[in-house]
Amino acid sequence: MAIAGAGQLNLNESPCWGSRSVDCFEKLEQIGEGTYGQVYMAREIKTGEIVALKKIRMDNEREGFPITAIREIKILKKLHHENVIKLKEIVTSPGPEKDEQGRPDGNKYKGGIYMVFEYMDHDLTGLADRPGMRFSVPQIKCYMRQLLTGLHYCHVNQVLHRDIKGSNLLIDNEGNLKLADFGLARSFSNDHNANLTNRVITLWYRPPELLLGATKYGPAVDMWSVGCIFAELLHGKPIFPGKDEPEQLNKIFELCGAPDEVNWPGVSKIPWYNNFKPTRPMKRRLREVFRHFDRHALELLERMLTLDPSQRICAKDALDAEYFWTDPLPCDPKSLPKYESSHEFQTKKKRQQQRQHEENAKRQKLQHPPPHARLPPIQQSGQAHAQMRPGPNPPLHGSQPPVATGPGHHYGKPRGPAGGPGRYPANGTSGGYNHPNRGGQGGGGGYSSGPYPPQGRGPPYGSSGMPGAGPRGGGGSGYGVGAPNYSQGGPYGSSGAGRGSNMMGGNRNQQYGWQQ
Ligand SMILES: Nc1ncnc2c1ncn2[C@@H]1O[C@H](COP(=O)(O)OP(=O)(O)OP(=O)(O)O)[C@@H](O)[C@H]1O
C-alpha cells in the first residue's frame, strides 16, 4: 500500500479538522463497504444531524495512512459544488472502537480515521435496483444534467474523477445527485503530457483508450463512463458487461465499430493497439442497436461513446446538447418521488439474504419431501388459514416502492437559443460555482505532482478470454439487476497493493491493478 510521507495529511490546515472524536457521532447502520473500509449512516449526538462516516481502512498500522485517502481528502477539500459530495470534517478514534451495536470492534488497528460526509439517501445503483423501479425521461434528464454539471465543475478545476459508475453517484431525497468517491481522482494538466496510470475506472465504464494502454489522457475518460451510465439508464442494463479487458474491448468494438486511423487518428500508436485490434471488420452499430431511443438521446450518446477521445463530447458541450433543451425537459429535482433509503451495499445484501433463504427452503424441501406430493393435502383444522399466509419467500420489500412515472414538473424553458452555443457557462466560473483554482480550462496550475501511483505500463492482458472473476456480488446486469465491479485477471490483477477487499468478494486492487 502506498503510504503518506510526513506532513502530507495536513490535518492542521483547518483547525477543527481531525480534532474531534468519532464518539461525537452515533453509528446507526452500515450503508457501504468500500475499498477504504465501511461506510456508516450516523447521527451527530450534539446536533442530531445525520451524516455518512467513511472509515479509512488502516489494516496495517506499519504502512501508515493510505495515499488514496490523502488524495481523496486533498481533492475534496478544494471542490465545493452542489453536485459534488461535501466532505465536512475528519474525525478520529484514539482507542478501541464500537460497531453499530455498541460492541467493541474486532479490528486489530485500535485507532481509526473517518471522513464525515453529508448523508445521501441513495446511490444510483441502489436506487435503480429497487424492485419495480423505472426512471422517467425527465428524471433521467435531471440526473444526467446534474452528473454532467458536477463533472464539468471537476474538469474545469482540473480534476479527473476516474471512477464514474452508479454506486459513486449519490442521490438524496430532494432529488440532488452528487459525485462521490474521489479515491481514484487526480489533478491533471491541460496539455495531457503527464504519464498517468491506465488502470483506473471500473471495467464496464472504462474507455477504449485506457484499455488499449494509453497513459496520456484527460477528461474524456470520464465522459466515456458518463456515456455508459446514460445508455444504461435508457436501456435498463449495462451496455458493456465485459468479464475481462479483452472481452471489454470486444464489446466496445461490436457496438462502436473497430478503431482505425480514419475514425481515430493516432490509434495505431497506442501501446497495445496491435495486440487488440479486431481481426475482422466491425461496423459501428450504435444507432441500429439503440434505434428505439429518442433522437436527441441517441445523438448525445453517439458523441459520448466516440472512440477517439479527442472527438468525444466534453461535459460543457453535453450540457448544451438538444437532449436537455427539448421536451420533455429535465424535471425539477425536488419534484422527484422520495424513496426509502437504498444503497448498493444494502440492495446486494438483501439479494444475498433472499438467495440464502431460497437455498435453505430448497434444501429443507429435499430433506423433508412431502409424503405424496401428487396427492391432495389432508385437510386439517385451521389449514385454510395456513394457506392464506404468505409462502416461504415473501417479497424482499414489504411495500412496493413508488414507481416514478414522469413527474410533470419541469424547469423553466431553456436559457439560451435552441441549438445555440453558450447555454452553459464556458469555464465553470459562473453558474454558482465556487472556483477555488481560478485556472479555467486553458489556465495553468492545478497540475499536482503529488505522489501518485506510477502508470500501468505493464504488458497487455492476454488476447483471448482470460477467466475473469465475475461482478462483485455475482449480480447480473446493472440498472434493475445488479451492479458491476469486475476484478481483473491477468497481469492487471497481479499487483499486491493493499486497498483490501469488500464483503461482496470484489477487490479493487485486482479491479484496478494498483501498482506500488
Ligand atoms: N455521503 C454518503 N452518503 C450516503 N452513502 C454513502 C456516502 N458515501 C458513500 N456512501 C455509500 O457507500 C458506498 C461506498 O462508498 P465509496 O464509494 O465512497 O467508498 P469506496 O471505499 O471508495 O468504495 P468502492 O471501493 O466501492 O469505490 C457508496 O456506494 C454509497 O452507497
State residue 8's pLDDT score: 45
Cβ neighbors of 194 (< 8 A, separation 6 or more) are 188, 216, 447
Q: Tell me whether residue 309 is in a domain.
A: yes
Q: Known catalytic residues?
A: 163
Written in H, E and C, the secondary structure of 120-138 is CCEEHHHHHCCCCCCCCHH
For residues 55 and 140, state if they share a domain: no
For residues 194 and 260, state if they share a domain: yes
State residue 392's pLDDT score: 30
Among 87, 118, 149, identify where a domain stops. Answer: 118
Cβ neighbors of 164 (< 8 A, separation 6 or more) are 147, 151, 179, 201, 205, 222, 225, 226, 229
Domain range spanning residue 81?
Answer: 22-96+105-118
Q: Residues 244, 210: contact at Cβ < 8 Å?
A: no
For residues 185 and 328, state if they share a domain: yes
Among 317, 333, 349, identify where a domain stops. Answer: 333
State residue 11's pLDDT score: 46
**Distance from Cα 39 to the centre of ligand 1, integer Å:** 6
Name which residue sits closest to atom 27 of ligand 1, judged by CA: 34
For residues 221 and 285, state if they share a domain: yes
Dihedral sign for Cα atoms in the order 323, 426, 182, 227 = positive
**Distance from Cα 298 to the centre of ligand 1, integer Å:** 30
For residues 60 and 147, state if they share a domain: no
State phi, psi for 117 to the nearest 5 degrees.
Answer: -115, 160
Strands 38-44 and 50-56: antiparallel
State residue 174's pLDDT score: 96
**Distance from Cα 181 to the centre of ligand 1, integer Å:** 6
State residue 514's pLDDT score: 26
Q: Which three cell numbers stand for residue 163?
A: 471512477
Q: Tell me whether residue 390 is in a domain.
A: no
Testing ligand 1's pocket by substitution, the residue of 33, 84, 181, 344 carrying the most ligand atoms inside 8 A of its CB is 181
Q: Residues 83, 156: contact at Cβ < 8 Å?
A: no
Testing ligand 1's pocket by substitution, the residue of 54, 161, 179 carrying the most ligand atoms inside 8 A of its CB is 54
Name which residue sits closest to atom 7 of ligand 1, judged by CA: 52
For residues 80 and 212, state if they share a domain: no
For residues 142 and 273, state if they share a domain: yes
Strand partners, 430: none
Testing ligand 1's pocket by substitution, the residue of 38, 50, 113, 123 carrying the most ligand atoms inside 8 A of its CB is 123
Q: Tell me whether residue 465 is in a domain.
A: no
Residue 183 near ligand 1, beta carbon < 6 Å: yes
Q: Tell me whether residue 408 is in a domain.
A: no
Q: Tell me whether residue 71 is in a domain.
A: yes
Q: What is the enclosing helix (H) or strand (E) of 90?
A: strand 87-93
Residue numbers of the chain with a pLDDT score lower than 70: 1-16, 35-36, 59-63, 95-111, 369-516
What is the DSSP-derived secondary structure letter of residue 359?
H
**Distance from Cα 163 to the centre of ligand 1, integer Å:** 12
What atom of ligand 1 comes closest to residue 202's alpha carbon?
27
Residue 52 near ligand 1, beta carbon < 6 Å: yes
**Distance from Cα 356 to the centre of ligand 1, integer Å:** 25
CATH of the domain at 264: 1.10.510.10
For residues 135 and 277, state if they share a domain: yes
CATH of the domain at 38: 3.30.200.20
State residue 94's pLDDT score: 75
Name which residue sits closest to atom 26 of ligand 1, judged by CA: 34
Residue 54 marked as a ligand binder? yes
Is residue 52 helix, strand or coil? strand
Written in H, E and C, the secondary structure of 191-218 is CCCCCCCCCCCCHHHCCHHHHCCCCCCC
State phi, psi for 242 to the nearest 5 degrees.
Answer: -75, 150
pTM: 0.72
Residue 510 near ligand 1, beta carbon < 6 Å: no
Q: What is the enclosing helix (H) or strand (E) of 275?
A: helix 273-276
Among 285, 310, 333, identify where a domain stops. Answer: 333
Is residue 169 helix, strand or coil? strand
- For 182-198, write each residue's pLDDT tens digit: 999 999 988 778 899 99
Name which residue sits closest to atom 18 of ligand 1, judged by CA: 181
For residues 249 and 182, state if they share a domain: yes
DSSP letter string over 280-314? S---B-HHHHTTTS-HHHHHHHHHHT-SSTTTSPP
Q: In whole angstroms, give the CA distance from residue 432 to residue 291.
A: 37
What is the DSSP-derived secondary structure letter of residue 455?
P
Residue 170 near ligand 1, beta carbon < 6 Å: yes
**Distance from Cα 310 to the centre of ligand 1, integer Å:** 31
For residues 109 and 204, state if they share a domain: no
For residues 323 and 176, state if they share a domain: yes
For residues 178 and 294, state if they share a domain: yes
Q: Tell me whether residue 2 is in a domain.
A: no
Name which residue sits closest to atom 21 of ligand 1, judged by CA: 34
Q: Tell me whether residue 495 is in a domain.
A: no
What atom of ligand 1 comes closest to residue 167's alpha carbon?
29
ipTM above 0.85, yes or no: yes
Is residue 224 helix, strand or coil? helix
Q: Report the half-sphere exposure of 269 (CA within 13 A, side-chain side).
A: 6
What atom of ligand 1 comes closest to residue 346's alpha carbon?
31
State residue 248's pLDDT score: 98
Q: Which three cell numbers stand for residue 86?
A: 461535501
- For 380-417, write each residue's pLDDT tens digit: 333 333 332 223 332 222 233 222 223 333 333 333 33
Amino acid at 75: I
Name which residue sits closest to atom 31 of ligand 1, judged by CA: 343
Residue 121 near ligand 1, beta carbon < 6 Å: no
Strands 159-160 and 50-56: unpaired
Q: In whole angstroms, give the CA distance from residue 293 to residue 382.
A: 54
The structural domain count of the chain equals 2
Q: Tell me whether residue 6 is in a domain.
A: no
